[in-house]
Amino acid sequence: MVQNRLGQRTIMSQEVFKAVAQALTDGEPAALVTIVKTQGSTPQRVGAKMLVYADGRTVGTIGGGCYENDAFWKAREALEDRRPVIANYELSDDFAEESGLVCGGQMEVYIEPLEPSPPLYVVGAGHIAYHLASIAAGVGFQIHVVDDREKFANAKRFPDAVEVVVDSIPDWLHREDIPSYAYAVIVTRGHRHDLDALRALAARDLRYLGLIGSRAKVTRIFEALLEESMPAECLKRVHAPIGLDIGAVTPQEIAVSILAELIAVKYGKAGHDNAESTVSSLRWTPKNIETS
């Protein structure tokens, strides 16, 4: 019986470790919940693990019952806060009555949000995209590039990219299943392509969406999408103009400012103030849009 339980725990741990490795490879956020200390009778022993994904999926268990449910929600919060948590549980008679588990011990759980390499979708393959892809790969982003020009979108120019796509930008974006934990930057060669790309991405729930261009250009694109009945709330989530304001001028410097903003968002240090103020400055009706 003891060997059987040990075997089951080993199999379960292997499943969790496999899931952790896959999450890190895919760039998918998840939190690892581990029992690090027990005293008395507990459903699981030290080392039992459960992986909690941002969308609520789980792999493994730390014993079930209401304390596992509590740890689940603490793991979801840890993913949002990006900070580890230690939770302590007293498996008292009240707990036993509620959960149906007769224990009576104490348990300490460590909840660790994992830091995978997040996917970065670079929409456009021009000069800024070239420099951004290079330096972003160096700090751990998984680079995906899309452009409709093979001369620019190719593996030779983007050797660090996991994917380089030559296709119609809006068509590919509409077809692609971009995960909610992804980052996307729109740095195409012109106003029309930027508009098409933002139209395809603005309504999606993404970790980060940025649009390059001056404030006047951003305003024109926002106006056009609002006229098409794009919800204002979607546009308020866009980082535009893109990048931190460091006085960048050259493509290399602009790429640095964009990467700085990506890192700031990754660690919860950047908001959407520019886009919110741009949207708030507009008044629109179904047939007419004007700036206030």
User: What pLDDT digit, counting tens, does each position of 40-79 carry?
Assistant: 878 888 999 999 999 999 999 998 778 899 999 999 999 9
Q: What is the pLDDT of residue 158?
A: 98
CATH number attached to the domain at 119-291 = 3.40.50.720
Q: What is the pLDDT of residue 282?
A: 61
Residue with tokens 């997040």: 118
240: Cβ–Cβ under 8 A, 6 or more apart, which residues? 210, 211, 212, 213, 218, 222, 274, 275, 278
Q: What is the pLDDT of residue 90?
A: 85
Q: What is the pLDDT of residue 113?
A: 94
DSSP class of residue 103?
-
- For residues 266 and 264, give the distance between their C-alpha atoms in angstroms, rounded to a whole number: 5
Q: What is the pLDDT of residue 195?
A: 97
**Which residue(s) pair with 85 in the sheet?**
111
Q: What is the pLDDT of residue 288?
A: 35
User: What pLDDT digit, counting tens, does each position of 99-139 carry?
Assistant: 454 556 788 999 999 988 899 999 999 999 999 999 999 99
Question: 225, 236 in Cβ contact below 8 A?
Answer: no
Domain parsing of the chain, residue ranges = 2-113, 119-291
- For residues 282 and 286, give the distance between their C-alpha atoms in angstroms, rounded to a whole number: 13
Rg, C-alpha atoms of the chain? 23
User: What pLDDT digit, counting tens, does each position of 261-291 carry?
Assistant: 999 998 888 765 555 556 655 644 433 333 3
User: What pLDDT digit, counting tens, does each position of 159-174 carry?
Assistant: 999 999 999 999 999 9
